[in-house]
Structure formats: C-alpha cells, structure tokens
Amino acid sequence: IRRAFLDGAGILPSPEEVRSFLADASPEKRTRLIDGLLSRPEFVDYWAYKLSDLLLVSSRSLPSNAMWAYYNWIRASVAANKPWDQMARELLTASGNTLSNGAANYYVLHKSPIAVAENVAMTFMGFSITCARCHNHPLERWTQKDYYQMANLFSRVGVKNGSDRGDLIVYPARTGEINHPRLNAPLEPRPLDGRPLPLDSPADRREHFAEWLVSDENPFFARAMVNRVWKQFMGRGLVEAVDDIRDANPPSNPALLSALTREFTSQGFDIRHLVRTIMSSSTYQLTSVPTATNGGDLTYHSHYAARRLPAEVILDAIRQVTGVREDFPGFPGRRALQLPDAAVDSYFLTAFGRPPRVTAFDSERQQEPSITQALHVINGDTINRKLASDKGLIHALLAEGADDDTAIERLYLAAFSRYPSADERRALAGALKTAGAEGGAASRRRALEDLAWAVLTSREFLFNH
C-alpha cells in the first residue's frame, strides 16, 4: 500500500487506510486500492506535476500569469483524463491568446524552430536529434537533412503582443522558412520518416506534423510515453535512459514494450489505463528484497527496485507525518506537488534534486544522494522545526495522553505504513519509559521527538521499497 500510494499519487496512506488495507482479506483489495488511487485529487496533482516537468512549466521562462495558464491547462487535462495524443495535438497546434489558451505558451517557451524541433523530439518521441543540427552522425538514424526538414515544420509560427503583461498571441504565419546551413536554402517541411509538405502549401505545418506524430506511421510517440510511465513505477525504463530511444539502445524486453504500447494505443492513449495496467501487474507487486540469484539484476525487473523518493514527495511526506505544513513563498497552503512552478524558492527541494525545467532531459532530476542532503536531514530545520511545533504530531500525542505503545504504532503506521515488530515495540517502549521516568514530561517529549526524527531520517522512510 505504501509503494502504490507513493508511486501512484506521491503521498503516504494514512494510518487508518493502512489498518483497513491490512485487515482486508478480500482477493480484490489491491484492485480496489489502485482504482481508488486513480480517482483521488492527489493523483491529479502528482501527474500534473510530472507533466509540468516534461513540458517545462516555469516562471523563469514565462510571466507568472502565463505560467499559471500553462499549468492550469496541464492540470485540467490530467483531471479530465485527456488522452495523451489529444494533449500533444492541442499543445503543438495551439493558437490564440496565451492567457486563455495555456497550451499556446509552448511557443513562448521555445522561441525558434530549432528549439521547438529539438524539444518535440525529446518530449514526445524520447530521443535527441540535436547532433544532426551540425552533421550526419555515422551511428545515428537521423541526418542533417531530416533535422532541417523537421525544423521547417515550425518556421511559420508567429507570436505578437496582446493587450496585457504576459498576454501574447500565437498564430500560424503565412511565410517563414529555415535554411539548411550547407545548402543555404529551405527544404520541404517533413516529419521524421513522414510525408513532406510542399514549400508553397498554405496548410498549417504544425497540423501536418501533429497528425503524423500521433499516427500509426510514427512508432515513437506511444512507445516514449509507455517507457516514461514504466520507469515511474519500476525505477528504470524498458529503454534506459527514457530520453535515449534509438536503434543502438534497444529495450531490455522488446516484447513487453511492444505489448504495453499496443495496449496503450488500443485504449485511446489513456494514461490512467496504462498506470492501472502496470500497477496491477505481478511484476510491480514483486518484493523489493532480492534473492541470492537476482540481487545484481538492475535491468530485468526480477524484483522491485528500491529507490529514494523524489524531492517533492519526501517533503510532502514529512509534512504528512508531522502534521505541520511547509510554507512556500507566494503559495500559502500548497503541498510541494501542488506547486505550478519549479522556480518556487525551497532549499530542501533544490538540495534534493528538483529539476530546473530548462530542458526535457530526464537527467535534469537528480536522484543521487549528497552530503548536502544528509546534513540538511540531520541538522536542518525542515524536520526539526516540524517536530518541535505545537501544531504537529508530537504535541498532539502528548495532548491526547497517548501511551508509549500507541505513539510508536501511530508513528510507524504514518511513516512506514506498517506495524512495528515485537522487537521494535519492546526496544522503543523501553527507551521511552526510561526517558519519562528520568526526566518527566519534558524528557518524554524530547524522546518522542528523537524517535520521530530517527524514523523520518531512516532509509525506510526516504526510500520507496
């Protein structure tokens, strides 16, 4: 239940939800759990945040009101379970006022045909074409000609000022070309492996590209999203890295990737259906404890890959367990996963690898541990301030007169989504009893704070497993 909540919605289950799940003897309880998660507003928050990473929502690149319009379009699309092909088509063909049509901000973020073409390839097809900007790579599929034909699909996008700050008008222009640098002439606009448009065609070139992008002619679109969603739940893409889909980097399980891609497209590019399919699989539900024979496997998903939680998920989990919210400047009351903007000031999120949303590369999000992270968890105020708060869990336990066993159990259920073992109960209850006997109420409070601190800084809490 902890794994499913964290991977699916970026939250921890409540102690009550854990108790109910563990007591449920129904063979359908996992299915009900997954369906329940998919209908929660936190699911929408999490996946809107993830797509905002991919689509580069940031006030570093957009005025605040335009950033909000862009984010709100993404979140409304996730909430409505808008098919991925429809989202891509709406984004890439967006026109009009950027405040009323948030998707149009995509063309404000990317100010040149070159930038649009490179980002589209990375975001929607899972590979980089940047090398082909300058030369034909001997080991890569796409040539310089392919590159400039694709870039020319976005050379007729106009942007003009509207009436207010942040208000721009995006429109299909009637003229505009980008020249091939060696030929010094424009090439017929053509999607990669697609049909070219005549240079003098009056059609919106973006429409031509979007039609090809989501069609059966293009094998990359659906496969790229399937691979990204698979990595979200398994810790590693079937093609790894997820933005390096190319002939020289084959999938670890081609049959599985093909089967999931067929399922995704046959269900109308329904991301929630894809999430449900993966979460319901026996592969996802495997133990994270390796055996003597599969401990070294990092590729074939013979066991669940334990991994550190993302920065925003950790911070929201600390808030959830302690009962004390994190205050973000300009965004009162919002959880980290409800922030629309990666530029919101937060030392914790920056230290734990929040991506700056400059490029769509998956590697922008840093998951590697660091000394900075360790020192902040140990000595920083993110955890310590919340434990000392008179609005938090420790204060509530004391105010309720909770005994030691109740306090230990509630903390374990809240943070680890499990009951403490008999040995843990015995050792911790003994320590709390000794603290209370030696120093009274103040000493017992310090002991409870120390226990909560030890739980919140443990690998069992900071990792999903």
Q: Are 12 and 319 in contact (CB under 8 A)?
A: no
The pLDDT-based confidence of 164 (bands split at 50, 70, 90) is: confident
- pLDDT value for 437: 77
| Cα–Cα distance for residue pair 13/10, rounded to 1 Å | 10
pLDDT at 272 over 90: yes
Nearest CA-CA partner of 192 in 106, 252, 122: 122
Average pLDDT, the chain: 95
**Residue range 372-384: mean pLDDT, rounded:** 92
Q: Can you tell me the mean pLDDT for 119-129?
A: 96
pLDDT given for residue 168 in this prediction: 96
Radius of gyration of the chain (CA): 25
- pLDDT bin (cut points 50, 70, 90) of residue 111 is confident
Q: How confident is the model at residue 438 (pLDDT cuts 50, 70, 90)?
A: confident
